Amino acid sequence: MEYPSKLIEEAVNQVSKLPGIGKKSALRIVLQLIKEKKENTFALTEALTKLRSNIQYCKHCHVIADQAECSICTGIRRDKSILCIVEDTKDIMAIENTGQYTGLYHVLKGVISPLQGIGPAELTIDSLIERVSKPDSIIKEIILALSPTMEGDTTSFYLHKKLKEFPVKITVISRGIPIGGDLEYADEITLGRSISSRTLFS
């Protein structure tokens, strides 16, 4: 497509690099910004510039944070004897939203995926081992909360092998039929697993 202006062309090119946005949506966004007050665009660019300039990763759990230590790791009400292992920051947000968990986290920053060239060394596994093996560690339980995919399961298996030498209980989040889900539409593997790992009715 030809653009009537180089400024529009460059802005559309940049906006269409964002995930989930094609050239048509990018053009719509750019034309909308031109229609609106300048201040709206400047508020957006300032927020993104600040974000990218100042964002850090928590030195304990590697979550994306404003400071060198995140609000969860420094929270006085958190149970520091439980550690939940997740793939990325989005997973922490999802678990926090449930309100069911008060322990700490450890962000792996990915999962082992030989096809994408991601091995254990690319993840924060060394830092996890360090946290668990510290002489003054009070960690009693480690929850593996990775996605139920081939890569997630491989990573859980690897972590289990690395962690079983330490005096911690290793658990995994339960898999089964989603609440509100219909048996009829559940896939066979999930349904089979939910039968074999049935629990006492209480």
Binding site for a second copy (CB under 8 A): 1-8, 10-11, 13-15, 17-21, 25, 27-34, 38, 40-45, 47-55, 63-66, 70-72, 88-90, 92-93, 96-97
Of the two residues 74 and 171, which places its CB atom closer to a second copy in the complex?
74
Which candidate, 14, 36, 137, places its Cα nearest to that of 82? 137
Of the two residues 43 and 150, which places its CB atom closer to a second copy in the complex?
43
Of the two residues 80 and 193, which places its CB atom closer to a second copy in the complex?
80
Of the two residues 27 and 159, which places its CB atom closer to a second copy in the complex?
27
Q: How far is the CB of 76 from a second copy (least distance, A)?
A: 17
Measured CA to CA, the distance from residue 202 to residue 191 in angstroms comes to: 20
Measured CA to CA, the distance from residue 160 to residue 172 in angstroms comes to: 10
- Compute and round to an integer the Cα radius of gyration of the chain: 22
Q: How far is the CB of 28 from a second copy (least distance, A)?
A: 6
Of the two residues 95 and 163, which places its CB atom closer to a second copy in the complex?
95
Q: How far is the CB of 166 from a second copy (least distance, A)?
A: 27
Which candidate, 142, 147, 82, places its Cα nearest to that of 110? 147
Which candidate, 194, 38, 58, places its Cα nearest to that of 131? 58
Q: How far is the CB of 20 from a second copy (least distance, A)?
A: 6
Q: How far is the CB of 81 from a second copy (least distance, A)?
A: 21
Measured CA to CA, the distance from residue 171 to residue 158 in angstroms comes to: 14
For residues 89 and 64, the answer to whether their CB atoms sit within 8 Å is yes
DSSP string, 179-198: TT--GGGS-HHHHHHHHHT-
SS3 (DSSP) at 120: helix
